[in-house]
Chains A and B, each alone.
Chain A
Amino acid sequence: MSGSPRRRLRDAEAVSPFMVAILGLCLTILFVPLVIIIFLSFNASPYGTFPFESTLKWYVALFTTSNLLGPTLLSLEISALVALNAALFGTMAAVWLDRRASRFGGGLFRIGLLSAITVPWLILGLAMLLVMNAIGLGRSLVSIYLGLLATTLPYVVFIVVARLRSLDHDLDHAARSLGARPFTSFLRITAPLLLPSIVSGTLIAFMVSFNNFLIQYFLAPFGVQTLPLKIYTLIRVGYLPDLNALATIIVLVTCLLIAILHRLGLRSAGLPGGATP
């Protein structure tokens, strides 16, 4: 082996057994609970005990006797509204940021958006509650809407801006010189080319909004329960496997969304994990 070149750390081959082990551990920690929940949702025992006896009764219970459906629908409605509005305002903000913003104004806006991602939601939620109280909204559905919108907007803006950056500005110039007004040019040329990244941003905004326990916890009016809040309550008092059934459905829907995101080419949106074009 005297003549062989020394292996360096940056050679993927040299570190691969270690990396594979860590990766395996992470994926195990991530997926084993999911598999267990899916498994238990088909188990007849209400306490997760064996022997395994397959049943669909928890799925039936979920749609009949359980009180999970109301919070789920509320969460879906709020998240859909927030995601669609984040898509609209986020795209507008992205276009402004890319085409019109001054260096100072754009930079300030960027920092604001980044802080909505980087500042812990615990602190953000608390701060929002203080502000909502101060302006008289208090804990309300409007407050939840505003809070979730603020936390999801950055995802849309950053994904759409990344795509806008890669678009040739001469496309807009060409359309204008051919007789298109600015709005027509945006609608006919820019928007179709942005569409994959707008959809990506909307789906991510939906998931972030759906998951955001902290913001919902701080801003939900008393008595109104979104799904994360409902689950939080149930875990403290003990729950039936109908929750497992709901979790299974959510996992499947999420997988579907991820497949859609993948098809839209997240790579072109500047995020890791996208399909290679």
Chain B
Amino acid sequence: MNDPADGLRIGAVRKNFSAMEVLRDITLHVPQGEFHTLLGPSGSGKTTLLKIVAGFTPADGGEVALAGRRITDEPPEHRNIGVVFQHYALFPHMTVAENIAFGLRMRRAPKGERLERVAEVLRLVRMTGYDHRRPASLSGGQQQRVALARALVIRPELLLLDEPLSALDRKVRLEVREELRRIQAETGVTTVMVTHDQEEALSLADRVLVLESGSVRQQGAPADIYRNPVDEFVAGFLGAINLLKVVMDGEFLRIGAQRLALSTGQIGAAPAACSGAMHLAVRPEQVLAELGHCESPAGCVNGRLIATVFGGPIVTLRVDVEGQEVSVLALSPDVLSSDSWRPGAPVQLRIRQARLLPATGLAP
């Protein structure tokens, strides 16, 4: 894993646009064959980082190495990187087959080999038979498959995906997302995808790197980042989360007048600076709600139901705990089968898993 010839390495890459610092000392390593995602809101610098890796934009400092080769100053045509763009960027005056064969032509592959590899990659993206169609006559999902085929046919050492799904309709997006996962697994190509969609990032990637204002906030496996965010920004960006104001009280946490006992297994290690204001970060699905009261101090807190919001298979319960609102997810049948879940009903909340985070007010 630590072979420097392995995959993509980015070392201390910096970029400024006039006076604005867009990227600050970004360092990351994508091992050969892995699928990593750069996740961040717009303006976080993720697309700029992608463009630096692809060679479309020069970095102001730092190094980019691919398969052990330093490519920082190489032009894009010498990098052997396949790129898929948000708006497909298919050549409109060429057919599907000509689009895909373009990279092979540039490599002066003989005609027989070209035809063979185009057919092979069309099979891979399940677009066989579309060879002679023009991009304009294809749907968005089909165009993105062709774009993927065009990027893969050159057998790149790295595949870069720049928000590849965000121009597609929701249904097509899920379909192409599954295709992406399958194709990446089949080809085993090292892949970096840029996205602002946390669901996409969590569902596709081996590792997620959360970027904000040009800095890496956190990187790790999707489930790990989701469960153990290092700060409120990451916690909030990866999905809905409750941030409860709490005060340390010996071995307990105090929420208003109630004392709550949580084991270290449930909240992990408390952060080093635990003297200041703290937030208990709890995902809505990590809370179990039951009607009734529990005795304090215990592993649960008491509140009152404000409202239930029906959402098909699940119901979101909005519960007031000591003046703070907590969202809780429950399965529809559990809640709807009973008349007792009325606004004002006493509810006890059992927290299964949570994180203590310093209160920074940085949640997105």
Q: What residues make up the interface of A, taking CB atoms closer than 8 Å to B?
A: 168, 170-171, 173-182, 184, 188-189, 192-193
Contacts and interface: CB of A to CB of B under 8 A. Distances in A.
Most buried by A among B75, B82, B106, B151: B106
B15 interface: no
Interface in B31-89: 54-56, 75-77, 79-83, 85, 87, 89
B89 A173 contact: yes
A174 B51 CA distance: 12
B93 A193 contact: yes
Given A170-B85, A184-B106, A177 B91 contact: no
Contacts of B54: 173, 177
8 contacts: A173-B83, A174-B89, A177-B54, A178-B106, A179-B80, A179-B107, A181-B77, A182-B75
Majority secondary structure of chain A interface residues (helix, strand, loop or mixed): helix
Nearest to B92: A193
A26 to B, nearest CB: 38
Q: Is the interface of B mostly helix, strand, loop or mixed?
A: loop
Nearest to A188: B102
Contacts of B80: 179
Nearest to B154: A178
A170 B89 contact: yes
Interface string B304-331: 0000000000000000000000000000
Q: Which of B54, B81, B102 has the most CB of A within 10 A?
A: B102
* Most chain A Cβ neighbours within 10 Å, of B55, B90, B91, B107: B91
A177 B106 contact: no
Contacts of B91: 171, 174-175, 189
B104 to A, nearest CB: 9
A176 B56 contact: yes
B103 interface: yes
A174 B85 CA distance: 8
Given A176-B75, A177-B77, 16 more contacts: A170-B85, A170-B87, A173-B54, A173-B76, A173-B83, A173-B89, A174-B90, A177-B54, A177-B76, A177-B82, A178-B82, A179-B103, A179-B106, A179-B154, A180-B102, A181-B77
Contacts of A176: 55-56, 75-77
Most interface-central of A168, A170, A181, A182 (chain B CB within 10 A): A170
Contacts of A184: 106
Nearest to A185: B77
Interface residues of B, number: 25
Contact of A178 (B75, B85, B103): B103
Q: Which 9 A-B pairs have the closest CB atoms?
A: A179-B106, A178-B103, A170-B89, A176-B76, A174-B89, A177-B83, A170-B85, A179-B77, A177-B76
B196 interface: no
B150 A178 contact: yes
Contacts of B79: 177
Nearest to B51: A173
A193 B90 CA distance: 12
Count chain B CB atoms within 10 A of each CB in A177, A184, A188 and give the residue with the most.
A177
A253 B105 CA distance: 42
B124 to A, nearest CB: 17
B56 to A, nearest CB: 5
B87 to A, nearest CB: 6
Interface in B81-123: 81-83, 85, 87, 89-93, 102-103, 106-107
B213 to A, nearest CB: 25
A170 B85 CA distance: 7
Contacts of A181: 75, 77
Nearest to B160: A177
B113 to A, nearest CB: 15
A174 B148 CA distance: 11
A176 B154 CA distance: 13
A192 B92 CA distance: 10
Contacts of B89: 168, 170-171, 173-174
A53 B87 CA distance: 66
Contacts of A179: 77, 80, 103, 106-107, 154
A173 B56 contact: yes
B86 to A, nearest CB: 8
B194 to A, nearest CB: 13
A154 B72 CA distance: 39
Nearest to A193: B93
B50 to A, nearest CB: 11
A220 to B, nearest CB: 42
A189 B93 CA distance: 8
Nearest to A177: B83
A173 B154 contact: no
Contact of B81 (A171, A177, A180, A189): A177
Nearest to A189: B91
B87 A178 contact: no
Contacts of B85: 170, 173-174
A168 B80 CA distance: 22
A168 to B, nearest CB: 6
Contacts of A188: 102
Contacts of A177: 54-55, 76-77, 79, 81-83, 151
Contacts of A170: 85, 87, 89
Nearest to A179: B106
Interface in B263-316: none
A172 to B, nearest CB: 9
Contacts of A175: 91, 102
A120 B87 CA distance: 44
Nearest to A175: B102
A234 B327 CA distance: 92
B146 to A, nearest CB: 12
Contacts of A182: 75
Nearest to A173: B56
A180 B106 contact: yes
Contacts of A168: 87, 89
